[in-house]
Chains A and B, each alone.
With several copies, the nearest count.
Chain A
């Protein structure tokens, strides 16, 4: 096991890793930018090294400074957290060349899965379903009709050079497809100077379901069941939970097995998340792999009782996974709300600045993961999340009730937070009944 590791991150995840290390008897070296100087969580590390000015590009993202801090700090490994350098295969490579363990997958696995198209290829080979599509450009109507009949209506027409919805069309039958193909081609030509379009099955009201996986260096790979993360705003997750509500047990098991199959096929090691979309008929399709720990990992920890950060560190150090698949059981229901320094009444405008006072919720089944404290100043330089409120209860109904009372207890003064918005979401019938899809927040709360 390691004696000393460096944490190449900031804020709540840095504190999360410091806590795990303290409990494991591992010394920690924290790095910080000048904007984070004086943050209380840095006092909990054994050493804290300033690596640059506020701008991430010159501090948290600056590979040579992080590595230099690791050398000066005399550590054996680096935990990258999430964001910043966590999925940077080059950084991972540099760590290896400097003989510092990177607590995460190998650079090779990261590279392989980092490209979405290659990842889809890998999934196909591992017999993990991906969203069916034409596989190549559609040149004429006849081909379009043929493909559409193969994959089934409705279909989505996408511009190969596209982005931002431009050149995208949904077609539900032959007639619409015939006209839409041409329109899409014309639009794509105008927008991107490239008329190439392809077809993909259109998933209506998809749910975002992801599977937590972890594998050691000895060939053991397990999943820690799934998380439902469909409550999103602009593709940013707001609320995550485990287990996913209204997911048939056989689907749950099939998705989780598929995730393990996929990571085993690339000899993936350490923690990762395999993301899927699930349609209204519970068909699931692989989307991508996040080759790192995720913000929402605590909900999995609550229901499985497994400390994922500790597990990451252990397997990176070469220890075998201390549990096998049969020992990973989901107990009860866990929900996480991301508390952001944003004003939900003003289009989620960021609200940095000094937190004059904060009362944190407590009690049975409540976990608050946050690095902030009274007097803390939310810097404007980084993402707006100031903490994660997580609850764990025997049933989902009780978890929602517990989250509501915990959100009532949470009081942050001096800045705006998204806590009030979470309360509205948690009380909406669609959420309560567990039928949220990824369009839920925009459809219900943000359209006027």
Chain B
């Protein structure tokens, strides 16, 4: 068995490369070979025609963010929620230049905890966390212009 694995088993690089070569040569997009317990399945070229119909310069307006308060990085960790800006304006992490930040990484926040200020039309809007958890990242910098939906904080709701 050990013998066959090196000279024809599914992990045999020579055979693998040979199949890939044949795929290129004959313009094969997908190959699957199976023999009882052995199985080799290779796809080539991938991402069918998506780039054709939806080039980067023209990403369709199809899939708008599902809602500004949804976690944006769910794939990372389902407990980590991204708090997004509810408005256009200028971000401030502290009530005044000499004060400490409202929150910093590691802090625990409650839904009503003010986490930052967004200045819009000369009005300083205190933004509450709206959820409970531990701040794991601050994603905006002081005096940064933020648009609607801009990620501001990551908060771990399991914390």
Asked if A and B touch directly (CB within 8 angstroms), the answer is yes
Instruction: Please list the residues of chain A having a beta carbon within 8 angstroms of any beta carbon in chain B.
Output: 33-40, 43, 49-54, 59, 64-65, 67-69, 71-73, 98, 354, 356-357, 359, 373-377, 379, 411, 413
Contacts of A375 in B (CB 8 A): 53-55, 58-60
Question: Is the C-beta of B90 less than 8 angstroms from some C-beta in chain A?
Answer: yes
Look across to chain B and name the residue whose beta carbon is closest to the beta carbon of A381. B64
A24 to B: closest C-beta gap in Å: 24
Please measure, in the bound complex, the distance between the C-alpha atom of A29 and the C-alpha atom of B65, giving whole angstroms. 21
B41-65 vs A, CB cutoff 8 Å, 1 = contact: the mask equals 0000000000111110111111011
Please, how many residues of chain B have a CB less than 8 angstroms from a CB on the other chain? 28
Look across to chain B and name the residue whose beta carbon is closest to the beta carbon of A43. B57
A370 to B: closest C-beta gap in Å: 13
A91 to B: closest C-beta gap in Å: 12
Binds A, one of B4-12, B29-37, B75-83, B142-150: B142-150
Please measure, in the bound complex, the distance between the C-alpha atom of A442 and the C-alpha atom of B140, giving whole angstroms. 50
Q: Which 8 A-B pairs have the closest CB atoms?
A: A38-B59, A68-B120, A375-B54, A34-B64, A72-B145, A377-B62, A40-B58, A50-B147
Contacts of A376 in B (CB 8 A): 58, 60-61
Q: A356-B52, A413-B55 are in contact. Are A65 and B88 (CB under 8 A)?
A: yes
B153 to A: closest C-beta gap in Å: 18
Question: Is the C-beta of B2 less than 8 angstroms from some C-beta in chain A?
Answer: no
Are B90 and A72 in touch, CB under 8 angstroms?
yes
Are B64 and A37 in touch, CB under 8 angstroms?
yes
Look across to chain B and name the residue whose beta carbon is closest to the beta carbon of A98. B121
Question: Is the C-beta of B72 less than 8 angstroms from some C-beta in chain A?
Answer: no
Are A37 and B87 in touch, CB under 8 angstroms?
no
Please measure, in the bound complex, the distance between the C-alpha atom of A377 and the C-alpha atom of B62, giving whole angstroms. 5
Are B120 and A357 in touch, CB under 8 angstroms?
no
Please measure, in the bound complex, the distance between the C-alpha atom of A65 and the C-alpha atom of B89, giving whole angstroms. 8
Please measure, in the bound complex, the distance between the C-alpha atom of A379 and the C-alpha atom of B139, giving whole angstroms. 30
Are A54 and B64 in touch, CB under 8 angstroms?
yes
Please measure, in the bound complex, the distance between the C-alpha atom of A41 and the C-alpha atom of B91, giving whole angstroms. 27
28 contacts between A and B (CB under 8 A): A34-B64, A34-B68, A34-B148, A35-B64, A38-B58, A38-B59, A49-B148, A51-B148, A52-B87, A53-B67, A53-B148, A59-B148, A64-B121, A65-B120, A65-B148, A67-B121, A68-B89, A71-B120, A71-B121, A72-B146, A73-B145, A356-B53, A357-B53, A373-B58, A375-B53, A375-B55, A376-B61, A411-B55
Are B60 and A354 in touch, CB under 8 angstroms?
yes
Look across to chain B and name the residue whose beta carbon is closest to the beta carbon of A69. B88
| Chain B facing A: main interface SS | loop
A371 to B: closest C-beta gap in Å: 10
Are A356 and B55 in touch, CB under 8 angstroms?
yes
Q: A50-B150, A59-B148, A68-B120 are in contact. List 9 more A-B contacts (CB 8 A).
A: A38-B60, A49-B88, A49-B147, A52-B87, A64-B87, A67-B120, A354-B60, A357-B58, A359-B57
Please measure, in the bound complex, the distance between the C-alpha atom of A65 and the C-alpha atom of B148, giving whole angstroms. 9
A309 to B: closest C-beta gap in Å: 23
Please measure, in the bound complex, the distance between the C-alpha atom of A37 and the C-alpha atom of B145, giving whole angstroms. 18
Are A53 and B68 in touch, CB under 8 angstroms?
yes
Most A C-beta atoms less than 10 A away, residue of B90, B121, B149: B121
Look across to chain B and name the residue whose beta carbon is closest to the beta carbon of A64. B121
Scan residues 125-156 of chain B and give those whose CB is less than 8 A from a CB of chain A.
Answer: 145-150
Are A38 and B61 in touch, CB under 8 angstroms?
yes
Contacts of B149 in A (CB 8 A): 34, 50
A206 to B: closest C-beta gap in Å: 39
Contacts of B53 in A (CB 8 A): 356-357, 374-375
Instruction: Give the contacting residue for B60; candidates A33, A359, A377, A413; CB below 8 A.
Output: A377
Please measure, in the bound complex, the distance between the C-alpha atom of A379 and the C-alpha atom of B61, giving whole angstroms. 8
Look across to chain A and name the residue whose beta carbon is closest to the beta carbon of B52. A356
Are A34 and B65 in touch, CB under 8 angstroms?
yes
Contacts of A43 in B (CB 8 A): 57
Q: A37-B65, A64-B120 are in contact. Are A374 and B58 (CB under 8 A)?
A: yes
